[in-house]
Chain A
Amino acid sequence: MFSVLTASLVCPILLASLADRVPGIFFGLPLVALASLVFAATHHEDPAEIRFATVHWAVWLGGILGLVLAAVLLLGWFA
């Protein structure tokens, strides 16, 4: 769990160090991880359950946002 937390804090710093080479969309990934972690922690008390639910929420959030992104890219491609 703390690895998720650490990653969500370190990722933006690493990404920022690469500055303009990184597409802005990747800055959303730490936010997905963070939202998943907070969602999970507000639904559970046990650390193991929080860890499991974090992955669960991250998959769902990432999947839904990925689908939306794919739809937008496809629309942009065909437009």
Chain B
Amino acid sequence: MAHARDNQAPPPRIVAVSPDDGSAIDLRNPALAAILSWAVPGLGQIYQGRGFKGRLFMGAILGTFAAGMWLGGGRVVYASWKPGDTRWAFVCQAGAGLVALPAVVQSLQLQGVSKQPLFGSMFMAPPLVAGQYVSRGYAERLAASDPDIDAEDFFDRPPLKQFRGEQVSHWHRRLGRWFDIGTLYTMLAGMLNLLVIYDAWAGPLGTPTDEDRKARSKRT
């Protein structure tokens, strides 16, 4: 038995070739690396031992996502599939990974039986649309903390409350162009992360041409 194990060949390593010096890059488990890079941008590269690129991607993608959230007043990332307020931007934002996941949780929570987001927090919660039912607690919290909403914006429908208005209109009126700029930043962060995921899956994109090699040798 031991003899058979000794003769067993090691599993083949999946490698990519560096376009810069032709050295081999050990991709380890590419599928796992790709999933890690989706979950946390750059984490797949770090898992593969490409720490510099991993940290670079992490800073760039997460930094841009955070900048977009900040510019958009924390309102630009939410998941909503309600008629009249389908948030297609979230398809791109979801590419940034786990940082966008709370939006899905909040959306499901508001549609669920509790009719309120997780812990009653408005973080990444989708905007209320006309006629939407929410819990009384969430309605009171919104009326107390949201500058655009007061208690009269809800119909009393025991045991729930029904919103009358469009919360996203309030956001647009208050944030103006910052809503669009923040949305653009977070969308681009998610879309660029697709390149990062591919890099973790298959290694560097493209192969150097002869012109590239000549230009490189000239520089060095």
Contacts and interface: CB of A to CB of B under 8 A. Distances in A.
Interface in A33-68: 34-35, 37-39, 41-47, 49-50, 52
A10 to B, nearest CB: 9
Given A5-B56, A31-B188, A38-B57, A45 B64 contact: no
Contact of A43 (B19, B56, B184, B188): B19
B21 interface: yes
Given A37-B60, A38-B60, A45 B185 contact: no
Interface residues on A, range: 20 to 34
Interface residues of B, number: 35
A35 B188 contact: yes
B46 interface: no
Interface string B164-207: 00000000000001100100110010001001101100001110
The 3 closest A-B pairs by CB, nearest first: A46-B20, A45-B18, A42-B199
15 contacts: A8-B63, A9-B63, A12-B67, A12-B71, A16-B70, A31-B64, A38-B61, A41-B199, A42-B205, A43-B205, A44-B20, A45-B18, A45-B23, A46-B18, A46-B20
Interface of B: 18-21, 23, 25, 50, 52-53, 56-57, 59-61, 63-64, 67, 70-71, 177-178, 181, 184-185, 188, 192, 195-196, 198-199, 204-206, 216, 219
